[in-house]
Structure 1
Amino acid sequence: MSQVSLKQSLAKLGFAIFLTYLSVAMALPVVSVFVTEELKLPNWLGGAAVGVSFVATILSRKHAGNFADAKSSKKCFMLGFFFYMAAALVCMAADTSGMSASIAFAILIAGRLLLGIGESMATVGLLSWHFSRLGPSQSGKILSILGMAMYGTFALGGPVGLTLYKYFGFSSVMLASSIVPILGVIMFLTSPEVVPHKTTEAKKSFLNLLGTIWKQGFAVMLQGVGFAVLGAFISLYFKDQGWPYAGVGLSLFGIGFVISRILFGALPDKIGGVKVALVSLVVETVGQSLLWLAPHYSLALIGALLTGLGCSMIYPAMGVEVIKMVSPEQRGTAFGGFSMFQDIAYAFSAPIAGLLADKFSYSSTFLFGFIAGVVGIIIVRSMRINNLPSNSTAN
């Protein structure tokens, strides 16, 4: 593939993910506010509503990986886009007037579960499809573009979601979230299928794959704690402190994330993922400490920016290492398992942080993120630096 075609393919990938992931980004800071302020339920249930979508993602990762590897990676991510749309419409029904809080919460949870399945199918399918089309030597770039588009969406999606919620209510956020995935479907509708890899060799079981990549998985899981607590509670934290610019905090996180991917996206392919992940975790941990201890909103905003800068490169850095460790015909399944570790952080961090907020304060949620970052640093430091050149990636 020529450099022009490669750049066009990566740009299309990034733009499509940016559009479709608005379904997730616009809803993320709004869901916990809706649960606590409109349904009048406790913070831990607000966190649970945020995190439950990732439970569905965890449970569906194996199926999504097998579907992409054995059937069709394109159909896998297209189905994911349709799940995004369905999830938003179900969540919108939770805002029906006259409904009891318990029923509304149950409907909301159902929609969030559908969203989790959609995210699993969309991300695993897109990764597998692009690995096959562009080749494993581009894995670092593919992962960087994917994450930059996904989390860069929060620079726009978070504030847009909060603004829509403030002026037009929860239903307007969900309606918008149901529309944007349609554009992604249109963009890839005529794209070619990719023939799945065939092999006569025995495949590793899903559990064996997890055993192979567990350290890389734990690194992204611990990184995900900081992002999860920031996304779920920074708005409530700023409101509780009487600080302005809660939406700016989400934007700064997204901006930091995108800047890091633009400047350092090629580094994992060049110098190895371990070095990149280690530095990134240090930066994220400093950001979480500033959010935890900030006496003024300006330091908290800097902490949000540093969290984004640090979070950004850990997933692609560890993903490049995973690519080197698995065969081509199991990349989709391996990445399903690899991403599952991050999903675990997203599923359980927000509810745990909600309990901390109920018992102590909103600032304690960022202490949780700080501790996770420290543990992540220890795990990554224990990894053996892989000195193979970047072109040694399995073909």
Structure 2
Amino acid sequence: MPVTPPQYHSAAADRSLLSLMTCVFTVFLVTGAALPALPLHIHRTLGFGTFTVGLVSGAQFASSLISRLWSGAIADRRGPKFAVSTGLALAALAGLLYLLSLMFSRNPSLSVAILFMGRALLGGAESFIMTGSQSWCLALAGPGNVGKMIAWIGTSMFVALAAGAPLGSFLFEKFGFASIGLATLAGAVVTMLLISRVPDARTRSENGEIVGKVLKAVWLPGLGMAFPGLGYGIMTAFSVLLFVQRGWQPAWLSFTAFAAALMVARVFCGALPDRLGGARTAVIFVTIYSFGMALVWAAPAAWLAFAGTALAGFGYALIYPGFGMEAVARAPTNAKGLAMGIYTAFIDLALGVFAPLLGLVANVTGLGPVFLISAILALCAVPIAMRLHSSAEPAREAHLI
């Protein structure tokens, strides 16, 4: 039987949080392992260019966008545990498709098409897992612990992504892309066992009319996040290829530096959105992020490029909670979980549309200018944040980290 928040003791909630953190960590560890391996596999082994790399990477984000509201509705109707379990099943299927694609390596077009389907399934899996985990946390946390729950779930994701990049490079170089498929499959199966004993918990289901209200409330913060949110896709799809092309090793450190700096920012500066306000924090950290991305483009040496990825990660860390606070503050009080889902969908939209387009740009200009374009687009979020600040509503107790 699902457990309602008032009946759930804090110690039990902490134990469930630990299990959910382990679940998210395991899934995103194998996801992170694919970050350096997949572009190299598509480019080196299958012989495709940057557009195809962007297209396959973008499939994950487009799928996340399509499944975002669906996963939230399922979490409401069937419970977050069912949503997370569904995501894990999709992740397992993605691992199987990775392995299946290797059977058609002599037919690169068919092989990359199977990879495309695998990435699309993985995007849906991530949407179900993260939306379900966040809903689970919101249901278990109680009014005084929502911020802590969301903070640690998010941190476990980026710790896993940071650790997954060197793991993926090692596996790919030593054992080939098959090891990435096996790791994805095994990670999903192990995680199913981890959550099997965690009690389910549900928030009150909302009717369909609430979706329109939430969308109207959060579209502007979501648009603000979409511009810098594109940089996450650029880092995952193109940073390793850029560093390999320029002879900067270890190439996997580009994304690991991004994720590690993001974690540092969340640990030591996580209270800034509460102190300064979400919109004001977003302005500051968008500027830091844009400078970091531009530094990657302009860097004449590896150490400056690694510093640029770290600055970009540090800035990206508090853009999400900055605009997220504005989104949740404007949403109906009984629909904060749905507000997070719709807000995050704007990032998926930007990544699904622009990642393939920037792959086409990279075919013409090279990979470096893509980082400069990302930096310039991110600055479009500044006037949006300023508008949000000028029209801020007084209710800002919602806390997203």
CA contact (8 A) 1:148 1:312 kept: no
Write out aligned runs for 1:242-261 (5 A). 242-261=247-266
Equivalent in the alignment of 1:345? 350
Q: Does 2:194 correspond to 1:187?
A: yes
| Residue 308 (structure 2) pairs with residue 325 (structure 1) | no
The 3-state SS of whatever aligns with 1:382 is: helix
In structure 1, the gaps of 5 or more residues are none
Q: 1:123 aligns with which of 106, 112, 130?
A: 130
Alpha-carbon distance between aligned partners in 2 of 1:11 and 1:203, rounded to the nearest angstrom: 33
Supply the AA of the counterpart residue of 1:299: L
Question: Displacement of 1:367 after TM fit?
Answer: 0.9
**What residue in structure 2 maps to residue 15 of structure 1?**
22
Amino acid at match of 1:59: I
The letter for the 1-side match of 2:380 is V
> What's the counterpart of residue 81 of structure 1?
88
1:49-64 counterparts in 2 under 5 A?
A: 49-64=56-71
Match of 2:209 in 1: 204
Q: Equivalents in 2 of 1:98, 1:70: separation in Å?
A: 42
State how far apart, in whole Å, the 1-side matches of 2:364 and 2:192 are: 44
Verify the 8 A CA contact 1:65 1:334 in the aligned structure 2: no
Hey, what's the Cα distance between the residues in 2 that align with 1:361 and 1:143? Answer: 38
**Residue 374 of structure 2 corresponds to which residue in structure 1?**
369
TM-score norm. by structure 1 comes to 0.91
> For residues 346-385 of structure 1, what are the alpha-carbon distances to aligned partners after superposition, in whole Å with 9 as ceiling and x for unaligned?
3233312211211011111101210122111221122126
Q: CA deviation at 1:97?
A: 5.2
Shift of 1:7: 5.0
**Whole-angstrom CA distance in 1 between matches of 2:322 and 2:151:** 9
1:222 and 1:321 map into 2 onto residues whose CA distance is 16
1:25-67 deviation line (CA, Å, top 9, x unaligned): 1112222221111111121011111110111111111111111
Distance 1:392 1:83 in 2: 31
- Say how many residue pairs are matched: 391
Distance 1:392 1:329, change over 3 A: closer
The residue correspondences of 1:91-130 to structure 2 (distance < 5 A) are: 91-96=98-103, 99-130=106-137
| Structure 1 segment 120-269 matched on structure 2, within 5 A | 120-197=127-204, 204-269=209-274
The AA in structure 2 aligned to 1:288 is: M
Q: Deviations over 1:317-374 (max 9, x none)?
A: 3333333333455334332211111112332333122112110111111012101221
Gaps of 5+ in 2: 1-7
Farther-moved stretch of structure 1 (321-330 vs 113-122) = 321-330
Identity %: 27
Please give the per-residue CA displacement for 1:264-303, whole angstroms capped at 9, x wherever unaligned: 2344345432232222211111111101111111110000
Structure 1 residue ranges, 4+ long, deviating more than 6 angstroms after superposition: none
Indicate how the Cα distance of structure 1 residues 12 and 337 shifts in structure 2: closer, same or farther if over 3 A, else same.
same
Structure 1 window deviating more from structure 2 (232-241 vs 259-268): it is 259-268
Q: TM-score, normalised by structure 2?
A: 0.90
Deviates more, 1:285-294 or 1:184-193: 184-193
